[in-house]
Chain A
Amino acid sequence: MEKKEKVDSSISEYFKDLLDDIELDEETEEESEEETEEESEEETSAEDDGGSDDLEEESEEEKRRREEEQRRKNKNAEEARKRREREAKEKKARDKLEEQRNELGRQLVDFKKKYPDIDLAALDNDKRFARFIEGKLLGKKDFTQLYEEYVDFVKEIGGTAGIDIQKEHMLKERSSSGSSRSSGGYVSGGSDVYSERDLERIAARIPFMTEKEAMQVLPKFEKSIEFYKNKK
């Protein structure tokens, strides 16, 4: 059996509303099947009413009883078959939905790699973006391409507004300016300063880092320390 790659469930939560509502489609199919079953039952009962005039002879009765039993058996078999089909369809729909969510998750992970500053939650809440990508999600273009198209589109329509659009989606920690302090221990010292929490976490990790890892964090780390020293 094909092994499905699992993607972080938290990231898959975004934009799931825009996926095809497979469960809903399935319910509709189930309902129509049930209706078909009911119709066939009615037909059977109608046949039963028509044949009730010739019940006097014993052999006729026996024959009728056998037919009745056969019909019941057929009906049971038919019901079992339909149930199996229904379960198979449900499983297929579940798998498809899961695959879609995984695919979306993968695309969102790729998007975060390319645009680490963009806040997915803010993007998810952007109704204009939701309208723009409706029906296009998991289509020929991936999420990153759709987002880039959206920003280009906004730029074309509104000039420099495209840049503002990106700013709107930026993580609050990075996009805010000035020296005001936000809640949750994060400060707004520009994109080149770690939050207090991150600074403490990184300080605990630095003694164990390889040269390469340390060189990646040290410039920003030292800048952050200067920033907090000056704040005192």
Chain B
Amino acid sequence: MANTLQAQLVGLSQRIYKEWIAKTVLVQSCDRSFEGEFNLERNEIDIPVYHDLSVHKTTLKERELKPAPLEFMKSSTIRVTVDKARYSHWGHLKISTIVERLSQEDSETRKKLVNRWAREAEDELALWVAGLPSRQEIDLSALLADQTTNPNGLLTPDNIVLALDILKAKIIEKNMEVADFRLFTSERFRSIARDAKILTGANLDANEPFRKGFVDIINGIKIYEHECAAITTRSASTGLVIEETAIWKSTDGIQYVVPYKNTIAYDIPPTEVLMGAKGYQTVEYYDFFNLYPTRLYKVKIKYAVSS
């Protein structure tokens, strides 16, 4: 093999991707499938489109005489332009050193990179959801507000079930399945559920407990806990979350694609390093899309400063 080290770096890039994805909650919950090969020149990739089948109604006689027009799925994919990239430079110029540092099973260097990328990806995605237009917002603080007992619309153990009912109703009114959706919240939501004594710990789906962030199924809703500081506001004194943007989404609510992962060499000019050299960077091209706005919501929740 002419260059086993270079090949090793390629494998390591995939390994890094696999490891950082496993550390995420939000990113992991997205649809990450794509088809074909990433076009490096045009930055394009095909991602799946989940069609809705139409149902025609007729009488049996009419159906025999006049069948409904043929409907071919025009395309099961849509071509999107990938516009984001993340990369980390390696502070070594020798490829053998980089490979050695990254390939060990308990490599601290790799662990650091993986943690950093997971955190950055989670925060970026969470902030993007928080910036969705108001038509994709469910403001629980407004919906739970009661001028006499709860003027600020805080989420409390007394109204948490009502809050979850509202979320379910928003889905049902659009003829969608509540079971397709998951709620991503901060740890404060778990505390409220615990205080309301509705955190049962009874898992209806045997697979869910093994997914990172899974809390419980409460009132028929799968609750996940994320750690995105970017979409929470904390009390200056207690540190408890007093306001947050929760995320109420289905898997296909966000399509998150990472169609290219590699570790590549680049030239470092003599102005940077004496006589110039080759540097290395691990790079990933990625982007995320919301093709179905009705399947992704941001949920405004407010909590009391102290429980």
Contacts and interface: CB of A to CB of B under 8 A. Distances in A.
Decide if A and B are genuine partners: yes
A18 interface: no
A19 B182 CA distance: 60
B10 A203 contact: yes
B33 A206 contact: no
Contacts of B33: 210
Given A207-B261, A208-B38, A210-B33, A200 B2 contact: yes
Contacts of B8: 222, 225
A211 B30 CA distance: 14
Interface centre among B1, B21, B33 (most CB of A within 10 A): B1
A124 to B, nearest CB: 33
B14 A206 contact: yes
Interface in B1-15: 1-2, 4, 6-8, 10-11, 13-15
A209 interface: yes
Nearest to B261: A207
A218 interface: yes
A93 interface: no
A218 B1 contact: no
A221 interface: yes
Contacts of B52: none
Interface in B218-273: 259-262
A22 B5 CA distance: 57
A228 B11 contact: no
Interface string B13-44: 11101100100000000001110011000000
Interface residues of A, number: 19
A225 B1 contact: yes
Contact of B13 (A207, A210, A215): A207
Contacts of B17: 211
Interface residues of B, number: 23
B126 to A, nearest CB: 22
**Chain A interface main SS type:** helix
Contact of B260 (A196, A208, A221): A208
Nearest to A226: B4
Nearest to B257: A210
Contact of B15 (A196, A209, A218, A229): A218
A214 interface: yes
A171 to B, nearest CB: 21
A199 interface: yes
Interface string A160-174: 000000000000000
B10 A199 contact: no
B4 to A, nearest CB: 5
A232 B13 CA distance: 24
A209 B4 contact: no
Contact of B11 (A210, A211, A221): A221
Interface in A125-168: none
B38 A228 contact: no
A200 B14 CA distance: 16
B42 to A, nearest CB: 14
B18 A225 contact: no
Contacts of A203: 6-7, 10-11
A206 B6 CA distance: 12
A10 B290 CA distance: 45
A214 B11 CA distance: 9
B4 A228 contact: yes
Nearest to B262: A207
A54 B1 CA distance: 97
Contacts of A210: 33-34
A207 B260 contact: yes
B11 A225 contact: yes
Contact of A211 (B6, B7, B32, B38): B32
A90 B18 CA distance: 60
A161 to B, nearest CB: 38
Contacts of A199: 1, 7
A215 B21 CA distance: 14
A228 B2 CA distance: 9
B38 A214 contact: no
Contacts of B34: 210
A221 to B, nearest CB: 6
Contact of A218 (B11, B21, B259): B11
Contacts of B260: 207-208
A228 B3 CA distance: 10
Contacts of A211: 17-18, 21, 32
Interface centre among B8, B13, B14 (most CB of A within 10 A): B14
Given A207-B262, A214-B14, 4 more contacts: A207-B261, A211-B32, A218-B11, A221-B7
12 contacts: A199-B7, A200-B1, A203-B6, A207-B10, A207-B13, A208-B259, A211-B18, A211-B21, A218-B15, A225-B7, A225-B11, A228-B1
